[in-house]
Copies of this chain bind each other. A is one copy, B any other.
Amino acid sequence: MKKEERVIPYKIYLEESEMPKAWYNVRADMKTKPAPLLNPGTGKPVTKADLAPVFCDELIDQELDNDTRFIEIPEEIRDFYKMYRPSPVVRAYYLEKKLGTPAKIYYKFEGNNTSGSHKLNSAIAQAYYAKKQGLKGVTTETGAGQWGTALSMACAYFGLDCKVFMVKCSYEQKPFRREVMRTYGASVTPSPSTETEIGKKILEEFPGTTGSLGCAISEAVEKAVTNEGYRYVLGSVLNQVLLHQSVIGLEAKAALDKYGVTPDIIIGCAGGGSNLGGLVAPFMGEKLRGEKDYRIIAVEPASCPSFTRGKYAYDFCDTGKVCPLAKMYTLGSGFIPSANHAGGLRYHGMSSILSELYDEGYMEATSVEQTKVFEAAELFARSEGILPAPESSHAIRVAIDEALKCKETGEEKTILFGLTGTGYFDMVAYEKFHNGEMSDYIPTDAELQASLDKLPKLQ
């Protein structure tokens, strides 16, 4: 490593005093606002009253607020953030060297906390508002387990009861995730379960099912609305989640600004959109206001390609169809990624905010196959030291590909990507990869069409 290259430290940390004091609401800068959620009964935009049995009051306000540009982060949340934030922006000197690229690669690393991902940023906010409202507890679903862990931690902090429905195949494959949640006092139920009517119904219809996120959501919502003092919380997709996650982008931008660095390309993995939406928020704001331009790339798994092969339409958010309808890029609420798909990013739809921005051309999307993703993950681990989550490794894959293009052209582009988390609980997938047992699956057009044909007819 040459001296002159090290003007920018390996890790850029903000001071605690420089941490964001308000979340940034990108909707305020969108000319076309994201389409509203619809009441599935009436087909009309949901009202606060519609959502009140499901969500916490203040979170509903945030969900519906398309206008306030900055929303203050309550001091109690900022106190919690200080446990694991600010998170560093890391200059990937070692990866650059290994690739031999003239590109400058940075990543915002959100994995240095026990949930192992960025999910904690929204979990603590949602737990805070639940506590403030005087609730007893919250219910939620979790797939890969990062969100459930994050929520367990947040609930332990505020002394809230936490009830997690964990997708059954994940519950069985990831017993350690379950134990982390239990360490934080959460109760964890494999979904579908017999604890809910919708769970029983699904089990009756599909006795051998290993569950899906959409199904776990239905159960968690039912549990919340049928229990006094409980509400449902969700770790992605919703506007409020992207709002909370803007702390990622705000910190990243502040850190880069300190050193006069402006990214040319910003890359994030995209499942429901929480990380991507949070990372790009302030950059997207500048783009929307016409102040700056950035190339923004969403990366999704080829096995669950909502942006690249889905339809922009109103769809159910959950399998049980108890949630409001959202307009989003979707594969259909019945879509379940192939069993060989590792890691998260398996939700059938995409944040309404990001869907609208993508539809308007403010960002690109690409999909990658998982063996290529794990190749990138291993290369990254060996050069940068951090063992990345499979989800995050989708972004790594595209960051590496872009850096290799720079190697060909000689361009010194600056790339920023989101390293959302660590892969410590994903070693089963890594093992498959090491043993050459990992395969790729790309749904056929016919399969996707069959799922899309079942979209609700109201559009």
- Give the interface of A toward B (CB within 8 A): 1, 9-11, 13, 15-16, 79, 82-84, 94, 112-114, 116, 153, 156-157, 175-176, 179-180, 182-185, 378, 381-387, 422, 424-425, 427-428, 430-431, 434
In order of increasing CB-CB distance, the 10 nearest A-B pairs are A176-B427, A10-B82, A179-B427, A424-B424, A156-B382, A114-B387, A83-B385, A179-B431, A9-B16, A179-B430
* Among candidates B157, B176, B385, B428, residue contacting A84 with C-beta atoms closer than 8 Å: B385
A53 to chain B, nearest CB (A): 30
- Contact (A386, B434) CB under 8 Å given A11-B82, A180-B427, A183-B381: no
- Contact (A382, B185) CB under 8 Å given A13-B13, A79-B1: yes
- Contact (A430, B387) CB under 8 Å given A114-B422, A156-B382, A176-B424: no
Evaluate contact between A114 and B381: CB separation under 8 angstroms.
yes
* Docked CA distance A10–B80 (Å): 10
Chain B residues near A378 (CB, 8 Å)? 183
Q: Can you name the residue of chain B whose Cβ is closest to the Cβ of A155?
A: B382
- Contact (A430, B183) CB under 8 Å given A82-B10, A424-B424: yes
Evaluate contact between A83 and B384: CB separation under 8 angstroms.
yes
Residue pairs across A and B with Cβ atoms less than 8 A apart, 24 shown, are A1-B79, A9-B15, A10-B16, A10-B82, A11-B16, A83-B94, A83-B384, A83-B385, A112-B112, A114-B387, A153-B385, A157-B383, A157-B385, A179-B427, A179-B430, A179-B431, A179-B434, A180-B387, A180-B427, A180-B430, A182-B431, A182-B434, A183-B387, A424-B425
Q: Is the interface of A mostly helix, strand, loop or mixed?
A: helix
A392 to chain B, nearest CB (A): 13
Which of A180, A182, A185, A387 counts the most chain B CB atoms within 10 A?
Answer: A387
Chain B residues near A381 (CB, 8 Å)? 114, 156, 183-184
Chain B residues near A382 (CB, 8 Å)? 156-157, 183-185
Chain B residues near A176 (CB, 8 Å)? 176, 424, 427-428
* Docked CA distance A434–B430 (Å): 28
Chain B residues near A114 (CB, 8 Å)? 381, 385-387, 422
* Docked CA distance A179–B423 (Å): 11
* Docked CA distance A386–B84 (Å): 9
- Contact (A385, B113) CB under 8 Å given A11-B82, A16-B10: yes
Q: Can you name the residue of chain B whose Cβ is closest to the Cβ of A114?
A: B387
* Docked CA distance A385–B13 (Å): 20
Chain B residues near A156 (CB, 8 Å)? 381-382
Chain B residues near A79 (CB, 8 Å)? 1
